Amino acid sequence: MTTLNERILTELRTDLVSFADTHSPVVLESDGAMWTQQGRTLEATFRRGQVGAAYPDVQLNGATQPYATFLASDEMANLAALAESISLAFGEEPENYVEPKARSDESSPKEGQAREVVPDLLEHPSFGSTRVVFLRGAAGAGKTVALRRLVRRQAQAYLDHKATFLYLYVDAQARYLARLDDAVALVLQDLNAHFTYRALATLTRHRLVVPIVDGFDELLGAGGGAEAIHALTLFLTRLDGRGAMVVSSRSTYFDFGRIRTQADHYRSSDANFEIVPVELLPWTEHEMCSYLASDGLYRKLGAGTPREALDGLKQTYFAGTDEASLLSTPFFLTAAVDVARQHAEEGGDTVETPARRPIGRIIENFVRREVGKFRNTGDEPILSEHDHQGFLRMLAEEMWWQERRELDRESVETIAELFAEKVGMSDRDLRAFAARASSYAFLSAREGQGPGPALLAFSHEYYYAFFVAGFLAQSLCTGDDVGGLLGRTEVSPTVAEEFGEQVLENRETWLAGILGALATRPVPVPERETNRGNAGALYAAVLAKCPCIKDLHLVEASFVGVDLRSTVQQNVALTGCDFIDVDFRAADWSFITSSKCSFTRPRVDPATTRLNGLRLAVGIDLNGIASDEGRAEYDPRKVQRICTQIGIQLPAEELADTEPEGVKYSARSEQTIELLHKLLRIAERTYYLSDDVLNRRGVSNRPQWANLESLLRDHDLLEEKAVQKSGTQPLLLRLAFPPNVIAEGEGTAADPRIRGFWQAIKHL
């Protein structure tokens, strides 16, 4: 028997409550516990564990087990049964799969196969921190396939007694869910798990389960992401700085500071996490050829070697263009192979398509096959190619208005009937078309999504983007309910990019109508954030593709993290727009008016960026400016100097207050500020800073660190937290304010502690 201290007892109670039936009592003593779980009363006794063990052994039903083994046992989480469910649900591995490479962006980047990089990062968290691997990559880059393979392999290793934990895959894509716990609860239900969402934090803390949230940007799309960020942060605070999880997103831009700021609401908890971004890399030519060699694909395309097949695909889809790099995206290569293979099997020599973009060519070839498959009893096509695309756009429209990516079969068949009536289809053909509409090549069934019939979704994000972008563009051209249209679900980066491409293809007929509709649209208060964010995404997509738009007027839009590099626009009028972390490097813009607008950390290159005629007040309309290297400057003198170089006009009184050009920071000050900004970037992703983090990231081993740490402490900007562990009592450091607030203090009015800190740095 062992006597447990209060901290361990408190944690054991929390763990058992997460497994116990809702509202049922948990009786806990220093030598044992009793609770009700799934209607059964369980009674356990605590025994002294091995030397150095943080938790007691647990005797239950006559068997004594280490604490983690007890939590995973059949009586508790029954992870063995969960592993079997995962193995069955995820099916067999595809024979022609080629593992993509991944690269972390730590100070010492790790690069290798994704199945090696991600698990390796999970194995080495910083002291006292929950490690969050944030996997990023474009649509079609292979994130979902890579993660699902990781999950299945781990489940099989667990069943073979070669692993001690499971990955829990949570598909946040194509779901009408705004909360992380909703998504997790549905997944646990689908897998017939023996525990609920409440126990997931317990199992994650003890490193028995590693959650994987695939498509986190889908959750962010609901209401601007506030609920998703809140749910993720709340889950992290429950982990007590332990365990690990994986989050994936298509967005290359993500404001990690939002998670850090949200965690400040739980400062009384033991929140501590470290976010490590990882990029999924495109396939190299070696990997593309490996794919074409698998299962003899190159021979099925009529080629003598994989290299010959790859060159043939480039010629077919990208002749005369500079987009051949798209084949490095697994989606494009596999789709191109499918089209070419089907065409070869039908006796054709080449894929005959108009000179369109690759995604358009792929879709047109698939649609052409659908025309041949959808025939009536007289062996005549039921619909033309144009009508088939119209029907698919109608499905995308329904998904957009319903704010989801899935429809049940009945809804698909109903839409088919409505479309058939619209095009004047005969009753006989209508019945045949509606009956087969759910078997479209572009749609796939998503089984096991809870009770009820299977749901249908576009089989890939690119297909959804193609059709929903066309729907959005045509709806804006007609000007019908534009305010309501943009107040629905968030425009994803893939949809926005496709929107820009389609507007470019139809510039003469679409551009003026779309810009006019955006400029005159209503912005209802309840959907204001979503409306302005979607307007910004669509505006940015058009600006990136269409230079020198005449009489351009951007109205009530929020541009966040968008890339406007090398764009050219003249005589632009701005009304009610916000630009946050927008990349303007090598951009050439001129402005005629700017009303009620703000710019936060625009990234510029003084040698190439021109923003002529833009009138801003530093610290009011302009909050910081980011240099070409990415460092944000807030000091008024530096900001004003950069503004002068790139053409931004400042108020006369502001220029009069500027200190002489010759007044500069000392070399010591500049070096200290440089190190501070490095610390702030780390603190955006790491809530508490341990010695090993600061050393590994190249902060505490710099000669300026002692001075910087002293200044932060002198002005009460560093907080300490002692970690209760056996032996030594290590300290964790935490910034007293969010990193961006400290950075902004260089040039704007702020808390006296921050102002005093910056004054001290400037006088070094």
pLDDT digits (tens, 9 = 90+) for 633-675: 888 888 989 999 999 998 866 555 555 444 467 889 989 999 9
* pLDDT of res. 220: 60
* Per-residue model confidence (pLDDT) at position 564: 95
Of 197-211, 327-341, 399-413, give the range with the top mean pLDDT: 197-211
Highest mean pLDDT among 181-185, 480-484, 661-665, 719-723: 480-484
**pLDDT tens digits along 701-736:** 999 999 999 999 999 999 887 655 544 556 788 899
The per-residue pLDDT for 153 is 94
Whole-number pLDDT of residue 449: 44
Q: From CA 274, how far away is CA 249, in angstroms rounded?
A: 17
What interhelical angle do 79-90 and 143-159 show, nearest 10? 140
Asked whether residue 393 carries a pLDDT value surpassing 90, the answer given is yes
Q: Which residue, among 481, 492, 582, has the nearest Cα to 530 in the 3D structure?
A: 492
Q: Domain ranges in the chain?
A: 6-72, 79-280, 285-352, 563-664, 667-762
Mean pLDDT of the chain, nearest integer: 85
Question: How far apart, in whole angstroms, are the C-alpha atoms of residue 179 and residue 225?
Answer: 9
With contact defined as beta carbons under 8 Å apart, do 139 and 77 qualify? Answer: no
| Highest-confidence segment of 50-64, 268-282, 553-567 | 553-567
Q: Annotate 674-729 with three-state secondary structure.
A: HHHHHHHHHHHHECCECHHHHHHCCCCCCCCHHHHHHHHHHCCCEEEEECCCCCCC
Rounded Cα gap, residues 42 and 53, in angstroms: 24
The band of 348, judged by pLDDT with boundaries at 50, 70 and 90, is: low
pLDDT by residue (tens digit) across 286-311?
999 999 998 889 998 889 999 999 99
Residues 177-206: what's their mean pLDDT? 86
pLDDT for 605 beyond 70: yes
Residues 6+ apart with CB under 8 A from 68: 55, 164, 206, 207, 208
What CATH number belongs to 667-762? Answer: 1.10.10
Average pLDDT on 430-448 reads 75
Segment 168-187 mean pLDDT:
74
Look-up: residue for tokens 């794919």? 291
Contact 622, 639 (CB under 8 A): yes
Dihedral class, residue 140 (left if φ above 0, else alpha if ψ from -120 to 50, else beta): left
Residue 139: per-residue pLDDT: 79
Name residue 733's beta-bridge partners.
Answer: 689, 720
What integer pLDDT is reported at residue 409 of this predicted model? 85
Exposed e or buried b per residue across 430-450, where buried means at least 16 C-beta atoms within 10 angstroms of its C-beta = bebbbebbbebebbebbeebe
How large is the average pLDDT for residues 131-136? 91
Q: How confident is the model at residue 323 (pLDDT cuts 50, 70, 90)?
A: low
Give the mean pLDDT of 267-276: 73
The mean-pLDDT minimum among 53-57, 87-91, 128-132, 342-346 falls in 342-346
Instruction: Compute the distance between CA of residue 56 and CA of residue 359 in angstroms, rounded to an integer.
Output: 58
- H or E segment and range at residue 40: strand 40-47
In which residue are the tokens 């009753």 written?
427
Q: Is the pLDDT of residue 91 over 60?
A: yes
Task: Select the highest-mean-pLDDT range: 86-90, 93-97, 512-516, 634-638.
Answer: 512-516
**pLDDT for 396:** 93
What pLDDT was estimated at residue 625? 94
Q: Give the CA radius of gyration of the chain.
A: 29
pLDDT at 346: 64
Q: In terms of residues, how long is the chain?
A: 764
Confidence of residue 161 (pLDDT cuts 50, 70, 90): very high
Which pLDDT does position 448 carry in this prediction? 43
Nearest to 54 by CA among 227, 219, 206, 250: 206
What kind of fold does domain 79-280 have according to CATH? Rossmann fold (3.40.50)
Structure tokens at 623: 């909050």
Alpha-carbon gap, residue 128 to 238, rounded angstroms: 13
Summarize pLDDT for 30-73 with one digit per residue, the tens.
889 999 998 999 999 999 878 777 889 999 988 999 999 999 99
- Among the listed ranges 96-110, 127-141, 602-616, 664-678, which one has the minimum average pLDDT value? 96-110
Per-residue pLDDT at 137 exceeds 90:
no
Q: What is the pLDDT of residue 660?
A: 45
Residues 6+ apart with CB under 8 A from 575: 553, 554, 555, 556, 593, 595, 596, 597
Mean pLDDT of 179-195: 86
Q: Name the region of 94 (left: φ>0; alpha: ψ -120 to 50; beta: rest).
A: beta
What does the pLDDT average to over 97-102?
A: 90
Sequence-separated (6 or more) residues with CB below 8 Å from residue 187: 168, 169, 170, 171
Q: Are 294 and 98 in contact (CB under 8 A)?
A: yes
79-280 and 667-762 share one CATH topology? no
CA angle 412, 455, 169 (to 5 degrees): 150
Residue 24, CB-side half-sphere exposure with 13 Å CA sphere: 16
